[in-house]
Amino acid sequence: MENLEAQSATIESALRLCPKGLFLSPITLRPRFNPNATAEQIEPEGELPSTVDQRQRMLVGACWTAGSLAALSRCHGVTALTYFETTGWRGLMETDRGSPLPDRFGSAPNEIFPLFYVFQFLA
């Protein structure tokens, strides 16, 4: 939740470089990659990938998403926002097969994550 306040400041800074507008994608709980990495990162076997956050299937993920939308939708110069993926570990709902690592990411097949309802409300 700490980074929600900083999101609008980041947009203001980016608009100085791109004054015609910004398309923000993807907006996620965890970084998609490490921009400071000097070598390829190998994910440990049997562990969740570093890009997966278990909070995505919890109420805190929905709260963070609502807070992020509130912060970013007020920013002038933002043309589009893209959040998460549709299905799977980084999605709004689980796939019909369920989690590949149920002991690490305990979602059920076709489970709808709480943050889905944030977008359903907006739609």
> What pLDDT, on a 0 to 100 scale, did the predictor assign at position 22?
92
Encode pLDDT of 64-83 as tens digits. 999 999 999 888 899 999 99
| Stated pTM of the model | 0.86
Q: Is the Cα torsion angle 55, 71, 51, 38 positive or negative in sign?
A: negative
Enter the tokens of residue 13.
């800074």
Can you point out the beta strands (E) in the chain? 22-27, 78-83
Tens-level pLDDT at each residue, the chain (123 residues): 778 888 988 898 999 998 888 999 889 998 777 777 777 778 788 899 989 999 999 999 999 999 999 999 888 899 999 999 999 999 999 999 999 999 999 999 999 999 999 999 999
Distance CA 109, CA 63 (A): 23
Beta-bridge partners for 22 = 78
Q: Could you state, in order of their start, the residue ranges of all structural domains in the chain? A: 4-28+51-122
Amino acid at 42: I
* Beta carbons within 10 angstroms of residue 2's beta carbon: 5
> What pLDDT, on a 0 to 100 scale, did the predictor assign at position 60?
96
